[in-house]
C-alpha cells in the first residue's frame, strides 16, 4: 500500500493533500464515531486516552531535552515532535484487528485519541516554537473532526440506542478504506521528497526512542498497573503496547515539509522506521504476548 502511494504520487500526480482531506474529514469521523458508539464503556477504557497523552508528553519532552544536548538547531524540535506521536491509526489499527475481533476496535481508537491530542498540541509547540502559540495549537485542535466524532460516539453510546445493522456493514467498509488510504498517504508523502538524508545520529535517536524508549515506558506502566493499580484488563494493556510500538507518524513528513524543518531527514526517518516495524512488530508480539 505504501508502494502504491509512492507510485501514485510520483507517476500519476495524485495529490497527497486531496487524499488527506478525504481521509481526515470524511473517513475518520465515520470510523471513530462507529467504533466508540458500539464499544462497552467502562472507567478503565475511558482512562486510556489520558494514559496515552501522559506517555506522549513524557516521551516528547524527555527526548526533546536529550536532542538539545546533541543539536543546537531546529533538528531538536523535529525530534521532539516525532517522539510525541506515532502511526497509531493507519498502522496500529490493522495490528489490533489481527489480535482482537472487530467489536473491540473502539477501545483502541479511544486510546489513541490521547496521541492525536498530543500531536496537535505538544507536537506543534515543539516543532514550531516561536511560530505556533498555545492559541494556534488549540485552534488546530478545535478543527479536528476526530474530537467531535468521538464525543458524538460517546453520547450515542450512553443514550442506549442500538446501531442499525446497515451502518455496521458500511462502517466496516469505511474502516478498510481508512487503513488503505492512510497507508498510501505515507507513500504519497515520500514521493514528494526529492532526496533523502540519512543522518546517523538523527536516525539513531529517533529509532531508539521509538522502538526502545516507548516500549520500555509502556512495560513500566503495565507493570505498575498489574502489580499495584489494577485498573486495566488485558485488552487495555494490549492497546498501550500497540500504540507504543508502531513506527513514526506519517504526519511528521508533512509537518517538517510545511515548516521547512529538515523534511529530507524526516522522510528518511519515517521510511526507515516503517520498514523496521514490519520486522520488529511481529517479533515483539511473538515474545511479549
pLDDT for 76-85, tens place per residue? 888 998 999 9
pLDDT over 90 (residue 103): no
What phi and psi, each to the nearest 5 degrees, are found at residue 266?
A: -65, -45
C-alpha grid cell for residue 288? 511479549
Q: Is the pTM of this model over 0.85?
A: yes
pLDDT in tens, 141-179: 787 788 899 899 999 998 988 889 999 999 999 989 988
Residue 288 or residue 204, greater confidence = 204
User: What confidence score (pLDDT) does residue 206 get?
Assistant: 93
User: What confidence score (pLDDT) does residue 120 get?
Assistant: 75
Chain-centre distance of CA 49, in angstroms? Answer: 12
pLDDT over 50 (residue 28): yes
pLDDT over 90 (residue 219): yes
**Bridge partners of residue 129, in order along the sequence:** 132
C-alpha grid cell for residue 87? 502511526
C-alpha grid cell for residue 7? 507510485
Q: What's the average model confidence in pLDDT over 175-204?
A: 83
Alpha-helical (H) ranges within 209-262 are 214-224, 234-245, 251-258
CATH for 2-288 is: 1.20.1530
Amino acid at each position: 500500500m505504501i508502494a502504491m502511494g509512492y507510485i501514485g504520487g510520483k507517476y500519476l500526480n495524485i495529490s497527497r493533500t486531496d487524499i488527506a482531506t478525504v481521509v481526515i474529514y470524511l473517513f475518520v469521523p465515520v470510523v471513530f464515531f462507529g467504533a466508540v458508539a458500539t464499544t462497552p464503556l467502562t472507567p478503565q477504557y475511558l482512562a486510556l486516552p489520558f494514559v496515552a497523552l501522559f506517555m506522549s508528553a513524557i516521551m516528547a519532552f524527555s527526548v526533546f531535552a536529550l536532542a538539545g544536548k546533541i543539536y543546537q538547531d531546529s533538528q531538536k524540535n523535529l525530534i521532539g515532535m516525532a517522539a510525541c506521536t506515532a502511526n497509531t491509526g493507519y498502522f496500529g489499527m490493522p495490528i489490533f484487528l489481527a489480535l482482537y475481533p472487530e467489536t473491540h476496535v473502539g477501545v483502541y481508537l479511544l486510546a489513541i485519541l490521547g496521541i492525536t491530542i498530543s500531536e496537535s498540541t505538544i507536537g506543534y509547540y515543539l516543532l514550531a516554537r516561536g511560530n505556533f502559540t498555545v492559541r494556534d495549537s488549540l485552534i488546530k485542535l478545535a478543527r479536528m473532526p476526530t474530537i467531535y466524532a468521538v464525543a458524538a460516539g460517546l453520547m450515542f453510546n450512553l443514550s442506549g440506542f442500538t446501531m442499525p445493522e446497515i451502518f455496521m456493514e458500511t462502517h466496516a467498509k469505511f474502516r478498510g478504506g481508512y487503513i488503505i488510504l492512510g497507508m498510501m498517504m505515507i507513500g504519497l508523502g515520500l514521493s514528494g521528497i526529492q532526496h533523502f538524508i540519512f543522518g546517523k545520529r538523527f536516525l539513531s535517536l529517533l529509532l531508539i526512542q521509538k522502538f526502545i524508549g516507548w516500549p520500555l515506558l509502556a512495560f513500566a506502566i503495565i507493570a505498575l498497573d498489574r502489580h499495584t493499580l489494577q485498573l486495566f484488563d488485558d485488552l487495555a494493556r494490549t492497546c498501550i503496547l500497540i500504540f507504543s510500538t508502531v513506527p513514526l507518524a506519517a504526519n511528521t513528513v508533512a509537518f517538517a515539509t510545511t515548516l521547512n524543518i529538515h523534511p529530507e531527514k524526516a522522510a528518511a526517518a519515517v521510511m526507515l522506521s516503517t520498514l523496521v516495524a514490519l520486522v520488529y512488530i511481529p517479533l515483539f508480539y511473538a515474545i511479549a504476548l
